[in-house]
A and B are shown apart, each in its own frame.
Chain A
Amino acid sequence: MIKIIKDTENHLLIEIEVSEANLNNSDLFKTQVIQLLDRHEKTVIIDFNQVEYIDSSFLGALVAILKHAIGMKLDIILVGLKSDVHDLLKLIRLDKVFKIFGSYNEAINV
């Protein structure tokens, strides 16, 4: 489901390894990322480059993760969103609550 790509002093970079992010994997995704937040206590950067489609269950999981992170005073950053996925986030105004960057390098250079 997710793979840790990089573990630096102040953040974790993880990649979602499915192309359809949906009801079948949203609970697992939420549990795994929340465990990472609890264990590492660092900002998590999520790379979506493999994700072609995201459904509302998965968006719900993503928001639950964000709320958990905010409670810990940490950030969730989304990178590598395909245009369809990014458009959907913008349409329902979730781009106002997540930090979104084109790539990992862009995200860390801000």
Chain B
Amino acid sequence: MATSAQVKTILLVDDNQLFLKMLSQAFKKSGIECITAESGKQALEILTSTLPDAILSDYEMPSMNGMEFRQQLMADDTFKDIPFIFLTYIIDNDLMVKGLNLQAVDYVIKDTPVNVIVSKINNLIYTVQKQQELSKSELKKAAEALNVKSIPTKTPEIDGFDIDFWHRPYQDIPGGDFIDFINANERYTFIVLGDIMGKKWMAWFFTFSFLSYIRAAIRFCVLSRDYSVGSILQKVNDVICLDDVLKDILSSLSLLMIDNETLIITYAGAGDLPLLHFEADTSTLKQISGDGLLLGLFAGNEYTEQQITLAKNDQLLIFTDGMIDFSDDTGKKSDYNTFARNIDLMLNKKYSFKRIQDELFEPSLAVQVDDCSIINIRKTM
């Protein structure tokens, strides 16, 4: 699943229809998508459903001029950071200072040849994009230096099981998925797979708060000999609901505990997708559904735990919603059943976990639209 190169979009605002048409054709020729608006009011309406990479707006327009339009954008957190350029016939230094005070990135005089305007905007979008990439790479470096990880680097070794996982963040920016393997003591190993609702940095930031609470709850429960994944989830949920910083932040969670002695797995889920259990003997794939609500939704939620017994060569797959999202010519969709069918076919053909990954994420098949994480547990004896 390769991420598609995103087409750049600009919003052109001008009351002169002819100028709009001419400029938008020139932009389209250079590979930039154009949305046009004939007034500031119409532009504001368009912005409620589409966020462009840059806005190019005329200064002189009836009812709401370019400056007033810019002021409205500045008052809105969602719009104020979209690079904004004024188009004008007027060469007036006072006006320019006013505009630049409103953080307009630049002025373009309308008499400038169209190809020069297009190059100028192209350069601007490119520069902004490069700066954003630079900031992201700095942030990634800082996170690595701090050694904060929401995805482990290796899998646990438990006699009787082969455990494997695969994770890919959306657009290669750390996101809301998190995985952890915790050897609580010699007998019990916990497997954690969560997904903070949201994408990219904001979601990634909260994975650490959630992981800290989950790790703490597991340790406390083990110390008090309460080996119940249901009760751990309940504690995590209650404490998250009390945390003001995490207000409105929700997460799904699949929590599994492997008993190294009995080889029995217990599971409880919070708003997670049903797990898939492949029975090797009968070659059938079964769903295992948790019953708990998302973490952070309401205090006092209860989470029922269930035992999962795997026979030799059975497999258990735990995954986040990014795995069931696809994008094709008709748009994006979430389709659990198609995902399960694909897995069923591949397991029946005895594909290795590596081969399944390759098949599922072959670039031609689909375009990744969210973080993707999957854990595979295979019973070996």
Q: Which residues of A contact B (CB under 8 A)?
A: 1-2, 17-20, 22-25, 27-28, 52-57, 59-60, 63-64, 67, 84-85, 87-88, 91-94, 96-97
User: B370 contacts A55, CB within 8 Å?
Assistant: yes
- In the assembled complex, which residues on chain A have CB atoms less than 8 Å from the CB atom of B250? 60, 63
Determine whether B78 belongs to the interface, using a CB cutoff of 8 Å to chain A: yes
* Minimum distance in angstroms from B62 CB to a CB of chain A: 25
Contacting A20 at CB < 8 Å: which of B48, B271, B332? B332
User: A28 contacts B297, CB within 8 Å?
Assistant: no
Report the bound CA distance from A84 to B333 in whole Å.
7
* Minimum distance in angstroms from B233 CB to a CB of chain A: 13
Contacting A56 at CB < 8 Å: which of B199, B274, B333? B199
- In the assembled complex, which residues on chain B have CB atoms less than 8 Å from the CB atom of A28? 48, 78
Question: Interface size class for chain B?
Answer: 35 or more
* Minimum distance in angstroms from B80 CB to a CB of chain A: 13
Per-residue interface assignment for chain B, residues 211 to 237, with 1 indicating a CB less than 8 Å from any chain A CB and 0 otherwise = 000000000000000000000000000
User: B49 contacts A91, CB within 8 Å?
Assistant: no
Q: A28-B48, A93-B291 are in contact. Are A59 and B333 (CB under 8 A)?
A: no
- In the assembled complex, which residues on chain A have CB atoms less than 8 Å from the CB atom of B51? 24-25
Contacting B334 at CB < 8 Å: which of A17, A24, A60, A84? A84
Report the bound CA distance from A107 to B364 in whole Å.
42
Contacting B248 at CB < 8 Å: which of A25, A54, A67, A92? A67
User: B271 contacts A92, CB within 8 Å?
Assistant: yes
- In the assembled complex, which residues on chain A have CB atoms less than 8 Å from the CB atom of B334? 53-54, 84-85, 87-88
User: B271 contacts A93, CB within 8 Å?
Assistant: yes
Q: Which residues of B contact A (CB under 8 A)?
A: 48-49, 51, 77-78, 176, 195, 197-200, 203, 248-250, 252, 271-274, 291-294, 297-298, 321, 325, 331-336, 369-370
* Minimum distance in angstroms from B37 CB to a CB of chain A: 16
Most interface-central of A1, A53, A97 (chain B CB within 10 A):
A53
List the 5 closest A-B pairs by CB distance, nearest first: A60-B197, A53-B332, A1-B48, A64-B248, A56-B197
Q: Which residue on chain B has the smallest CB distance to residue A59? A: B197
User: B293 contacts A96, CB within 8 Å?
Assistant: yes
Q: A24-B51, A57-B199, A93-B291 are in contact. Are A19 and B331 (CB under 8 A)?
A: yes
Report the bound CA distance from A94 to B271 in whole Å.
8
- In the assembled complex, which residues on chain B have CB atoms less than 8 Å from the CB atom of A60? 197-198, 248-250
Contacting A52 at CB < 8 Å: which of B197, B199, B203, B331? B331
Most interface-central of A18, A20, A88, A91 (chain B CB within 10 A):
A91
Report the bound CA distance from A1 to B333 in whole Å.
20
* Minimum distance in angstroms from B309 CB to a CB of chain A: 24
Report the bound CA distance from A96 to B252 in whole Å.
15
Q: A23-B200, A24-B51, A64-B248 are in contact. Are A56 and B332 (CB under 8 A)?
A: no
User: B176 contacts A52, CB within 8 Å?
Assistant: no
Q: Which residue on chain A has the smallest CB distance to residue B369? A: A55
* Minimum distance in angstroms from A8 CB to a CB of chain B: 24
30 A-B contact pairs sorted by A residue (CB < 8 Å): A1-B49, A17-B48, A17-B49, A18-B49, A22-B332, A23-B198, A24-B51, A25-B49, A25-B51, A28-B78, A53-B332, A53-B334, A55-B199, A55-B332, A55-B369, A56-B176, A56-B195, A56-B321, A57-B197, A60-B197, A60-B250, A63-B294, A64-B248, A84-B334, A84-B335, A88-B321, A91-B273, A91-B336, A92-B321, A93-B271
* Minimum distance in angstroms from B245 CB to a CB of chain A: 14
Q: Which residue on chain B has the smallest CB distance to residue A19? A: B331
- In the assembled complex, which residues on chain B have CB atoms less than 8 Å from the CB atom of A17? 48-49
Contacting A57 at CB < 8 Å: which of B198, B272, B291? B198
